Amino acid sequence: MPRAVKNLFADSLTAESEPQMKKQDSRTVDVEKKDRIGEYLRLARRSIMNVLPDKWHTALRYRRVFGEFPDLKNPRTFNEKICYRKINPQPIYSVLSDKIAARDYVAHTIGEQYLVPCYAIESEPTPATYSALPESFVMKANHGFGYNLLVRDKADHPFPQIYNLGQHWLGQDFYDVCREAHYRDIKPRLIFEKLLLDDLGNIPKDFKFHCFQREGEDPVVFIEVTHDRFTNYKVDFYNQDWELVEIRRPEVSTGQAMPRPQQLDEALELALKLANGFSYVRVDFYLVGDAIYFGEMTFTPTAGLTKFKDRETDHQWGALFDI
């Protein structure tokens, strides 16, 4: 191609491209600017939320989820009553929400045989502790939700990794997350327990017994079954007669009833023993083979932000217990 034609072509291309490139650059700048503004607003909102009193913090989080403020003076719905509990906890909540301290209550109330075998309890794991652990185990922190490491093969999790993760957990104040005040009084520690697996080698389903008790009335229990909680989370609800009931939104449910567990009646009885004296508490068990293992007790599930299938269900559950 002659040089003159090349130059003409290049000039033409440049002349036509520059306005377009400027538009693209302008759009890129606008997007980046919006991203920066959005990040500044998120940081500002987080900073403001961090300094708010518990009551305001709770009310604003609730409004962000449900579009309205909760009635914390005269709570009626389940979520409102749980929010009230968050900022007005009973002292016993701190003891039984502690995954380590709760073991004593469970052993005394229903028996040690229902506790997951424990290998160690530490504030700071040592090489000696690590060496004594079996090839598979679970590491948990006792002072909140979500602090779980499932170890199938210890060779994949060397001591420095275990140590660093454990110290990271222990350095976090779970109270700061959702202002569940009873977690402030739990001394953070690590617990190493047996890794529970079902017949197929999978993490067993979680059976959560929502126990309601109003004075002078028979207790009411709903059983929440969590499937594949670390992979493909689904949850179903059953009543005491093991009938599938719709509590949460359909998209989080399997919609398929599972066979009634053979240990259900015993687990239900144990849950009610542990729940005795509380107007509401959620008691979790793992049903593994013929065994029943205690998981935890929870007094403020989802921090009062449970997304029921409709507002009516929120009211129905709220009517089942008094604060």
Query: Domain of 237: which CATH number?
Result: 3.30.470.20
Predicted confidence at residue 7, as pLDDT, reads 47
Asked if residue 253 and residue 235 are part of one domain, the reply reads yes
- In a domain? residue 286: yes
Question: In this predicted model, what pLDDT tens digit does every residue of 68-85 receive, in sequence order?
Answer: 999 999 999 999 999 999
Flag the least confident range among 207-211, 247-251, 314-318.
247-251
Same domain for 103 and 211?
yes
Same domain, 173 and 240: no
Judge whether 83 lies within some domain.
no
Instruction: Clarify whether residues 251 and 105 are in a common domain.
Output: yes
> Do residues 267 and 128 both lie within one domain?
no
Domain, as residue range, for 18: 3-51
DSSP SS3 for 53? coil
pLDDT at 215: 92
The number of folded domains in the chain is 3
Same domain, 227 and 109: yes
| Same structural domain, 35 and 100 | no
pTM: 0.86
Per-residue pLDDT at 48: 72
Mean residue pLDDT across the chain: 90
* One domain, residues 216 and 100: yes
